[in-house]
Chains A and B, each alone.
Chain A
Amino acid sequence: MALFKKNYDTKSDEELMSLLTHGGQSAFDELYRRYSKPLLNFFYRLLNGDRQKAEDLLQDLFLKIIEKPESFDGNKKFNTWFYTLASNMIKNEYRSRQIRSEHEKETLSTSNEPFELNSESFDKSLFNKRLETELDKMDVEMRTLFDLRFVEEMSVKQIAEIMDCKEGTVKSRLFYLTKQLSKKLMVYKPELN
Chain B
Amino acid sequence: METISNTDFDRLEKLLKTKRFDELDTAEKEWVKAVLSEAEYIAMVPLYTSLNNDLSYAAIEPTSNTKTALDKAFAAKAKGRGLFQMKMPVYQSVAAALILFFVGFGMNNRRNVETRIVHDTFQVIKYITKPENAVKMAANVPKHAAKRARQLITVPTQHVAPDEISDKVETVSESNPEFARQQEIAMTNIYRVLNEKNGSSIGGDTVLQRMMVTVY
State in angstroms the CA–CA spacing of A176 and B69 once bound together: 41
State in angstroms the CA–CA spacing of A168 and B8 once bound together: 11
Q: B60 near A150 (CB under 8 angstroms)?
A: no
User: Contacts A63-B70, A66-B70; is A51 near B54 (CB within 8 Å)?
Assistant: no
Specify which chain B residues have a CB less than 8 angstroms from the CB of A151 in the assembled complex: 51-52, 55, 58
Residue on A with the closest CB to B56?
A128
State in angstroms the CA–CA spacing of A5 and B13 once bound together: 45
Nearest-neighbour CB distance to chain A for B33, whole angstroms, equals 13
Q: B39 near A58 (CB under 8 angstroms)?
A: no
Q: Does B44 contact A (CB under 8 A)?
A: yes
Pick out which of these stretches binds chain A: B74-82, B94-102, B174-182, B197-205: B74-82
Size of B's binding interface in residues, CB under 8 A: 41
State in angstroms the CA–CA spacing of A188 and B43 once bound together: 9
Q: Does A94 contact B (CB under 8 A)?
A: no
Residue on A with the closest CB to B51?
A150
State in angstroms the CA–CA spacing of A49 and B60 once bound together: 10
Specify which chain B residues have a CB less than 8 angstroms from the CB of A172 in the assembled complex: 1-4, 9
Q: Does A105 contact B (CB under 8 A)?
A: no
Q: Does B48 contact A (CB under 8 A)?
A: yes
Question: How many Cβ-Cβ contacts under 8 Å join chain A to chain B?
Answer: 126
Contact with A along B204-216 (1 / 0, CB 8 A): 0000000000000
Specify which chain A residues have a CB less than 8 angstroms from the CB of B81 in the assembled complex: 23
Q: A178 near B44 (CB under 8 angstroms)?
A: yes
Nearest-neighbour CB distance to chain A for B137, whole angstroms, equals 73
Specify which chain A residues have a CB less than 8 angstroms from the CB of B61 in the assembled complex: 37, 40
Q: Does A83 contact B (CB under 8 A)?
A: no
Q: Does A84 contact B (CB under 8 A)?
A: no
Q: B39 near A193 (CB under 8 angstroms)?
A: yes
Q: B77 near A167 (CB under 8 angstroms)?
A: no
User: Contacts A44-B57, A55-B66, A179-B36; is A150 near B48 (CB within 8 Å)?
Assistant: yes
24 contacting pairs across A/B (C-beta < 8 A): A23-B78, A28-B70, A32-B70, A36-B66, A40-B60, A41-B60, A45-B55, A45-B58, A51-B60, A55-B63, A62-B70, A124-B54, A125-B54, A128-B56, A167-B6, A172-B2, A172-B3, A178-B44, A179-B2, A181-B43, A181-B44, A181-B47, A182-B41, A182-B42
Top 6 closest pairs, chain A to chain B, by CB: A182-B43, A192-B39, A171-B9, A182-B40, A45-B57, A175-B4
